Chain A
Amino acid sequence: MTPTLLSDSMTIAYKEWREWFARSARPGWLGLMLLMVIWSMAAPFALRQVSAGTMLMVLVWLSLPMAISGVVVADSFAGERERQTLETLLTSRLSDHAIVIGKIVAVVIVAAVFLLLDLAPGIAVVAAGAAGPEIALSAGRLGFWAVVIGLPLIALVISMGAIFALYAYTARQSLLLVMAFVGALLLSAAGVVVWVSGQPSANLAPEVPAAHAFAIGVLLALDGAALAWLMACAHRTRLLALR
């Protein structure tokens, strides 16, 4: 990455943050953060009789950050196109890649912050034993898995969400596609967890099982493929949805 590309990407990322966190949007973000904290803390209580302490709880925790990442990335590409600010940006000296990388960086950092905000209260609840003493000791492992699985899952949602936004005609269409993708991804991941664990209530093994390592490897490969696809198809004509 050249210094110019880096500097241009950061200009775009900064622009994205300024847009999202403009004064008029702040109450909405605060409400969302509150909802996320409640969701995170309620999950261990809701799942304690079913599958508390398992990977399924990790997926429940990840669902909101994944959905938010999908919404934000769809808005970043297709939403900006509909607000008619993207075409002017594309008439500037910025390269296609600087615009795309800047937007992706902006979404990734926001998603990472939301992931931490989402996980911290839930793990604190588990560690305090409020959801049952039997899983209090697995709080560290849950946190580990949430980050190890959460980051590549969210990265996949962001890359695919950007691709959907490039191919969709409208922001609404893009949003529907990315939400369907998040739903399918979560259901597939839950299926993999059940398959790996043998049963929904199985506790995590302290070491990384081969099947888990394989699943994470597949996820990282999908991340790489999606990112490569995005960078290959992100040119001005497609960013503007001109066919």
Chain B
Amino acid sequence: MPAPAILTEQLTRTFRSLHAVDNVELAVAPGMIFGVLGPMGAGKTTLVRLLLGLLAPTSGTAFMLGYDVRTQADAIRARTGVVLQASGLYDDFTALENLELYARIWHLPIPDRNNRIEMLMHHFGLWSRRHERVGNWSPGMKHELAIARALVHRPALLILDEPSLGLDEPARDALHRELFALVRNEGATVLLTTKDANEIGALCDEVAVMDHGRIVAAGTPASLVNHTGATHVRIQGSGFTADLVRLIGSRRDVLNAESQHDSLLVEVAHDGACAAVVNLVVESGADIVTVERSNGGLDAAYRALLGGVI
């Protein structure tokens, strides 16, 4: 079995009394797209900074591509491409100038540099706009250019910190398609952080859910869904009052409850809660026509994990 591309053991970083990253244990196999899923303030960006050697760990160890983040951060950064939440592009530079700057930083030979930049810009459909200043570009285009910049030196590891933050859905889907195709083509290992469970489901082979600096669950997206057992219940009928919705929503094993037209949509943490919810509806005097139960998917599993139910 190949050595992990990313390996952390009890990795911890504190800021005074705040445990921004708390005993994090990760093992990411080479060639994998690995997601770190968590809400704002969960510690994802601090984790990225620790892995890149921008911050020193308070305790614990971390190895990236076999290099220690404490003592060999230069070697890690030399083999890694990074896209942070802010694109990091120079607004007064053209798209081409932005890529050329980083190609120079990575010491790419000039013929290779030009070919590589042209290939990447063609891939993202940006070649025809290469002489435009990027300050006027949309966030989606900037993200694409930032990813092209991160890949210009053919990194063995790509780190994306909230790559689709601020993008609308079509732009996000396009970015996912392009990113997925490119990464598979280049054979790089990818670590991406996000607070969007759908993004993880669309892209990642494995995921770790992070909250308050700790990893609260890890595995494949499918295993998380099965493990948490979050379930959607759709009750069709009439008489679903606001008080009933509030009463159902106040249960500890209910993650979300809302009424829409002639339906009551309830998300429960586990199958056992379904019967209790239906009982509440019956006792309230509402009329029930049908009850449907379905698996809630990764998004529901994620919310269940953050709700502290499991």
Residues on A lying within 8 angstroms of B by beta carbon are: 7-8, 11, 15, 18-19, 22-25, 83-85, 87-95, 236-237, 240, 242-243
Q: How far is the CA of A90 from the CA of B76 in the complex (A)?
A: 12
B282 at the interface (CB under 8 A from A): no
The 0/1 profile, CB within 8 Å of A marked 1, for residues 38-55 of chain B is 000000000001001111
Q: List 28 A-B contacts (CB under 8 A).
A: A7-B107, A11-B104, A15-B101, A23-B92, A83-B91, A84-B84, A84-B88, A85-B90, A87-B84, A88-B84, A88-B87, A88-B88, A88-B146, A89-B88, A90-B54, A91-B54, A91-B84, A92-B102, A92-B106, A93-B74, A93-B77, A93-B105, A93-B106, A237-B55, A240-B54, A242-B54, A242-B55, A243-B15
Q: How far is the CB of B128 from chain A (nearest CB, A)?
A: 21
CB neighbours (8 Å) of B78 from chain A are 93
* Range for the number of chain B residues in contact with chain A: 20 to 34
Q: How far is the CB of B236 from chain A (nearest CB, A)?
A: 49
Q: Which residue of chain B has its CB nearest to the CB of A95? A: B74
CB neighbours (8 Å) of A243 from chain B are 15
CB neighbours (8 Å) of B97 from chain A are 18
Q: Which residue of chain A has its CB nearest to the CB of B56? A: A237
Q: Which residue of chain A has its CB nearest to the CB of B16? A: A243
Q: Number of residue pairs across A and B with beta carbons under 8 Å?
A: 67
B80 at the interface (CB under 8 A from A): yes
Q: How far is the CA of A25 from the CA of B135 in the complex (A)?
A: 14
Interface centre among B90, B97, B102 (most CB of A within 10 A): B90
B3 at the interface (CB under 8 A from A): no
The 0/1 profile, CB within 8 Å of A marked 1, for residues 79-118 of chain B is 0101010111111110001000110111100000000000
Out of B15, B87, B105, name the residue touching A11 (CB < 8 Å).
B105
CB neighbours (8 Å) of B52 from chain A are 91
Main SS class of interface, A: helix
Whether A18 contacts B93 in the complex (CB less than 8 A), given A91-B77, A93-B74, A95-B74, comes out as yes
Q: How far is the CB of B82 from chain A (nearest CB, A)?
A: 4
Q: How far is the CA of A25 from the CA of B90 in the complex (A)?
A: 14
Residues on B lying within 8 angstroms of A by beta carbon are: 15, 49, 52-56, 74, 77-78, 80, 82, 84, 86-93, 97, 101-102, 104-107, 146, 159
Q: How far is the CB of A72 from chain B (nearest CB, A)?
A: 15
Q: How far is the CA of A87 from the CA of B86 in the complex (A)?
A: 9
Out of B53, B80, B105, name the residue touching A8 (CB < 8 Å).
B105
CB neighbours (8 Å) of B49 from chain A are 242
CB neighbours (8 Å) of B89 from chain A are 85
Check if B92 sits within 8 Å of A19, measured CB to CB: yes
Q: Which residue of chain B has its CB nearest to the CB of A20? A: B92
Check if A236 sits within 8 Å of B104, measured CB to CB: no
Check if B88 sits within 8 Å of A87, measured CB to CB: yes
Q: How far is the CB of A13 from chain B (nearest CB, A)?
A: 12
- 10 new A-B contacts, CB < 8 A, other than A25-B92, A88-B87, A91-B52, are A15-B90, A19-B93, A85-B89, A87-B54, A87-B86, A88-B84, A91-B159, A93-B106, A236-B53, A236-B54
Interface centre among A7, A25, A89, A90 (most CB of B within 10 A): A90
Q: How far is the CB of B233 from chain A (nearest CB, A)?
A: 44
Q: How far is the CB of B193 from chain A (nearest CB, A)?
A: 14
Q: How far is the CB of B132 from chain A (nearest CB, A)?
A: 13
CB neighbours (8 Å) of B54 from chain A are 87, 90-91, 236-237, 240, 242
Q: Which residue of chain A has its CB nearest to the CB of B92? A: A22
Q: How far is the CB of B284 from chain A (nearest CB, A)?
A: 52
Q: How far is the CB of A12 from chain B (nearest CB, A)?
A: 8
CB neighbours (8 Å) of A8 from chain B are 105
Q: How far is the CB of A14 from chain B (nearest CB, A)?
A: 8
Check if B86 sits within 8 Å of A84, measured CB to CB: yes
Q: How far is the CA of A92 from the CA of B76 in the complex (A)?
A: 9
CB neighbours (8 Å) of A240 from chain B are 54
